[in-house]
Amino acid sequence: MQHSPLCNLLLLAMAVAWLSVSVADKPGTTDAVAGDSASATAGESEQHREAFLGKDEAPEFNKLTPDQAKQKLTELLNKIDTNNDQSISMAELVNWMRRVAQKDRLASAAKRFRALKVASDSPKAAAPLTFQEYQLAVQRELLADSEHKAAASNSTTTAAEAAAAVNASLAAHMSRSRSHWVMADSDGDGRLTVEELADFIRPEESPRMRGAVVQEALDTADSNRDGRIDLGEHLRDLYTDYDKDRREGKSLPDWVTREEEHFRTRLDLDKDGSLSDDEIYKLVVPDTADHAKTEAKFLFGEADANGDKFLSLDEILNKWKAFVGHGATNFGAFDHDEL
């Protein structure tokens, strides 16, 4: 799925503003050379496997032989075939992938939940997370990260200066984080369970967090605070000289002109010159953001040899690598009906 430049910016802003992801959890950069088709293909294959199997289960596939892979895949298909008609429909495959994605989402939130409890020295590791615990944990994580960066760069910044900078950054974001916390707190007890923390961390994946997604976008791009995003606000963060070049009558780069057209024809659906809440939400969470459906369509395209819109066992086994890669897994989590 491809996001627009502003969409990527807004998603990044949400991650920073909520301060929900541990510094230790952030993915590192890779040394892959851009345009390396082999690396790109491997990455895409891994993405498809994770979507079908789950992030924790997918790596286990490499431990089994091809024959074992096919056997385990056959066992798994019995779980996906919910109406027991010996074939897999698009709806069944999409529903399966959504269950896998939800399982991964909750596993990630549980990991973050435990990290926040540890970082805040909470005596109640299993109890729902309080906002005070969250704030203390994030403060300590940011301070530790600041100290690490200062040491790595031989910075002359003192510990007191680093702490002051962290506290200033924390204060700037916590009031907004508090309002998002309230939205995620479905039972209104002031604390977040693992499920509620998942909504707080990844609000764009939870329809009930729609208000938080829209507000974060407005906080990022709505410079005149009128509750909408106009063309200039949309482009200003993407092209810093946008206003200046327009005032001076300079020619804009081709990509900026294309983005202007995209705003007018694809984003501003009611053609009133600015984006409403509904239009902002569609920008950040487009209709194409249904990863389960996208992945299911890919697998159908790979395996549905006769084009009948159903996948038979033979069709799936003939294309088993598209589903599980080069190995198989023990499917321990699946065998316990967690999905």
Q: Model confidence over 291-311: pLDDT tens digits?
A: 899 999 999 999 999 999 999
Task: State the pLDDT confidence band at 328, using cuts at 50, 70 and 90.
Answer: very low
What is the C-alpha end-to-end distance of the chain, expressed in Å? 25
For residue 180, tell me if it sits in a domain. Answer: yes
Q: What is the pLDDT of residues 8-36, one digit of tens each?
A: 444 444 443 444 444 434 333 334 333 44
Average pLDDT over residues 85-108: 95
Residue 336 CA to residue 141 CA, distance in Å, equals 35
Domain of 304, in residue numbers: 45-209+288-323
C-alpha–C-alpha distance, residues 23 and 29, integer Å: 14
- Determine the pLDDT at residue 78: 92
How many structural domains comprise the chain?
1
Residue 14 belongs to a domain: no
Does 27 fall in a domain? no
Is the distance from CB of 19 to CB of 200 less than 8 angstroms?
A: no
CB 92 within 8 A of CB 311: no
From residue 237, alpha-carbon distances to 173, 223, 234 in Å are: 20, 10, 7
Report which listed range, 7-16, 56-65, 136-145, is most confident.
136-145
- Residue 16: inside a domain: no
Residue 192 lies in a domain: yes
Q: pLDDT tens for residues 75-87?
A: 999 999 999 999 9
Among 54-63, 141-150, 151-160, 225-234, the minimum mean pLDDT is found in: 151-160
* Confidence at 326, pLDDT banded by 50, 70, 90: low
Asked if residue 88 is part of any domain, the answer here is yes
The answer to whether the beta carbons of residues 76 and 329 sit under 8 Å apart is: no
- Tell whether 339 is covered by a domain: no
| C-alpha–C-alpha distance, residues 50 and 290, integer Å | 15
The answer to whether residue 90 is domain-embedded is: yes
For helices 90-119 and 131-152, the axis angle rounded to 10 degrees is 80
| Alpha carbon distance 90, 112 (integer Å) | 33
φ/ψ of 81, rounded to 5, equals -80, 80
